């Protein structure tokens, strides 16, 4: 009994400590001037490519450190550097913006106030919506992108992200194929596709800004209903027969991954009976929304391939391919095209 009592107290103290830290960071963010739309009015007439910078002011550095603490972010490990220096990467990223389809560039420029290329996030993108006195959802954002993570060739970037969920088993390997050229430009394109998807994810017309909003009007959110449902007060996948282990899969985990590359091909095979575009999109309804739209833009609008080959020793044991031309993703594709038609593109098949 005494041992249980001690553990209970310990867990309470840990929980209270985390809650206290979250509250401290929340107060700091609420009080920080750079989280307000009004602080960024000076960027109003800038072109999107000129909003990209690697140089942060003291106030911007302060905000970045608060955000790192609030989201428990830490530097990436195990990435494969492209060999391009940080300054040159900034020019490549700006070049990528210049080559975007005009409609997408206008959309991003209307919503993004500043893009900071920084280090130490450990994830590709950290984007926050700015606060406005006029309305709850301002539709204006600033974005921090991790140079170390994005300054990888696209296939290396995808392989790195998979490595955050699967530890290496020497007998099992995988090869992502997301580009014919496999360049850093491709990775920058993917990052900009994610920014577009994140902006749309904050739009209450397409995705609920709170769990309560979904509970009150679930039929409003057509995308959510393709793969998710409300069960016991929680939003969970509609697929009842998924492998139990999939519920424990985590990307960007601080600890060592629970699963290895031996299970990876099995997990990907499992989601072929669902409408999920990849395993990462299974991590939550918001991640599914962002991942699906970003993947659609990158694959269908930027005309890139998307597949992963899995090997046992040197033998090919499976391939996972883009689902946009498959029946399993057609409903989701129709909804995404409806959203993009309204917000960015005129899409015709």
What's the pLDDT tens digit per position in 37-49?
Answer: 999 998 888 999 9
Q: Looking at residue 20, what is its pLDDT?
A: 72
Q: Looking at residue 222, what is its pLDDT?
A: 94
Q: What is the mean pLDDT of residues 4-17?
A: 45
Q: Which residues contact 61 (CB under 8 A, 6 or more apart)?
A: none
Is the pLDDT at 1 greater than 90, yes or no?
Answer: no
* CA nearest to 165, candidates 271, 236, 268, 72: 268
Q: Looking at residue 4, what is its pLDDT?
A: 41
Residues 233, 305: Cα–Cα separation, whole Å: 38
What's the pLDDT tens digit per position in 196-233?
Answer: 999 999 999 999 988 788 888 888 899 999 999 987 77
Backbone angles phi, psi at 234, to 5 degrees: -120, 155
Is the pLDDT at 5 greater than 60, yes or no?
Answer: no
Question: E-assigned strands of 250-295?
Answer: 259-260
Is the pLDDT at 24 greater than 90, yes or no?
Answer: no
What's the pLDDT tens digit per position in 229-246?
Answer: 987 778 899 998 999 999
Residues 89, 79: Cα–Cα separation, whole Å: 16
* Bridge partners, 231 (sequence order): 234
Percent of the chain scored above 70 by pLDDT?
Answer: 93
Is the pLDDT at 265 greater than 70, yes or no?
Answer: yes
- Answer for the pair 39, 33: CB distance below 8 angstroms, yes or no: yes
Q: Looking at residue 136, what is its pLDDT?
A: 76
Count the Cβ atoms, other than its own, within 10 Å of residue 137.
Answer: 13
Specify the 3-state DSSP secondary structure of 72: coil
- Answer for the pair 123, 150: CB distance below 8 angstroms, yes or no: no
User: How many residues are there in the chain?
Assistant: 349
Q: What is the mean pLDDT of residues 10-22?
A: 54
Q: Looking at residue 19, what is its pLDDT?
A: 60
Question: E-assigned strands of the chain?
Answer: 52-53, 112-118, 125-129, 141-146, 166-167, 172-177, 228-231, 234-237, 259-260, 307-312, 315-321
What's the pLDDT tens digit per position in 155-201?
Answer: 999 999 999 999 999 999 999 999 999 999 999 999 999 999 999 99
Q: Looking at residue 292, what is its pLDDT?
A: 98
Count the Cβ atoms, other than its own, within 10 Å of residue 334.
Answer: 12
- Answer for the pair 167, 263: CB distance below 8 angstroms, yes or no: no
Mean pLDDT score of the chain, rounded to an integer? 91
The least confident of 2-11, 106-115, 289-298 is 2-11
- What single-letter DSSP state applies at residue 327? G
Residues 254, 250: Cα–Cα separation, whole Å: 10
- What single-letter DSSP state applies at residue 312? E
- What single-letter DSSP state applies at residue 36? B
232 vs 154, higher pLDDT:
154
117 vs 2, higher pLDDT:
117
Q: Which residues contact 60 (CB under 8 A, 6 or more apart)?
A: 34, 116
Q: Looking at residue 349, what is its pLDDT?
A: 57
Is the pLDDT at 8 greater than 80, yes or no?
Answer: no
Mind giving me the DSSP string for 101-127? -HHHHHHHHHHEEEEEEESS-SSSEEE
Contacts 24+ apart (CB under 8 A), 2-11: none
């Amino acid at each position: 009994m005494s041992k249980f009592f001690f553990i209970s107290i310990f867990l309470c103290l840990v929980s209270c400590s985390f809650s206290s830290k979250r509250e401290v960071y929340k107060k700091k963010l609420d009080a920080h001037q750079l989280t307000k739309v009004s602080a960024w009015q000076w960027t109003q007439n800038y072109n999107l490519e000129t909003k990209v910078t690697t140089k942060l002011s003291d106030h911007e550095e302060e905000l970045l450190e608060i955000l790192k603490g609030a989201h428990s972010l830490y530097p990436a490990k195990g990435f494969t550097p492209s060999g391009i220096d940080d300054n040159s990467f900034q020019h490549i990223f700006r070049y990528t913006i210049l080559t975007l389809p005009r409609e997408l560039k206008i959309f991003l420029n209307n919503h993004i106030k500043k893009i900071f290329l920084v280090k130490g996030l450990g994830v590709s993108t950290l984007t926050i919506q700015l606060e406005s006195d006029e309305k709850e959802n301002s539709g204006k954002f600033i974005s921090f992108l991790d140079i170390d993570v994005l300054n990888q060739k696209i296939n290396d970037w995808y392989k790195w992200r998979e490595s955050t969920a699967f530890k290496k088993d020497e007998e099992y390997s995988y090869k992502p194929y997301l580009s014919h050229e496999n360049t850093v430009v491709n990775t920058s394109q993917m990052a900009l596709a994610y920014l577009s998807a994140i902006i749309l994810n904050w739009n209450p017309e397409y995705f609920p800004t709170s769990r309560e909003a979904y509970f009150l009007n679930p039929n409003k959110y057509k995308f959510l209903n393709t793969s998710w449902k409300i069960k016991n007060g929680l939003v969970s996948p509609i697929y009842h027969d998924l492998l139990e282990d999939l519920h424990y899969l985590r990307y960007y985990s601080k600890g060592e991954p629970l699963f290895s590359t031996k299970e990876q091909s099995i997990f990907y095979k499992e989601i072929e009976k669902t409408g999920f575009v990849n395993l990462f999109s299974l991590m939550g309804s918001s991640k599914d929304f962002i991942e699906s739209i970003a993947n659609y833009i990158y694959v269908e609008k930027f005309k890139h391939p998307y597949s992963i080959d899995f090997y046992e020793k040197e033998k090919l044991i499976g391939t996972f391919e883009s689902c946009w031309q498959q029946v399993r993703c057609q409903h989701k594709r129709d909804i995404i095209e409806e959203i993009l038609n309204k917000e960015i593109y005129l899409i015709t098949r």
